[in-house]
Amino acid sequence: MGHCYNSLAWLANKLGEHGKRLRKGMIVSSGSMVACQFVPPGSTAVGKIDGLGEVTLKYKLPK
């Protein structure tokens, strides 16, 4: 979209179409500064952002 502000404007407009809006204090992530990391089956991945929190992904194959 050329600039991260363009994607933010798109999001605000799309929310408006559904009667919603961005509010003060909301956190919006417009992308990533790191390359994608593919997690092989059987792995556990942890993502952490200081001051925001942590997420854990356990990748299991279906039985």
- Indicate the pTM of the whole model: 0.46
Q: Which residues of 16-25 are buried (b: 16+ CB within 10 A; e: fewer)?
A: eeeeeeeeee
Q: Give a yes or no: residue 23 inside a domain.
A: yes
Q: Give a yes or no: residue 31 inside a domain.
A: yes
Compare 1 and 53 and report the one with higher pLDDT. 53
Q: Give a yes or no: residue 25 inside a domain.
A: yes
Look up the domain containing 9 and give its range: 4-58
Q: Give a yes or no: residue 63 inside a domain.
A: no
pLDDT of residue 19: 96
Distance CA 55, CA 63 (A): 24
Q: Please state the domain count of the chain.
A: 1
Q: Give a yes or no: residue 39 inside a domain.
A: yes
Task: Report the SS3 class of residue 47.
Answer: strand
- Over 70: is that where the pLDDT of 1 sits? no
Sequence-separated contacts (24+) of 60-63 with Cβ below 8 Å:
none
pLDDT by residue (tens digit) across 24-56?
999 888 777 777 778 788 899 898 989 999 999
Distance CA 7, CA 50 (A): 24
Distance CA 56, CA 54 (A): 7
Q: Give a yes or no: residue 21 inside a domain.
A: yes
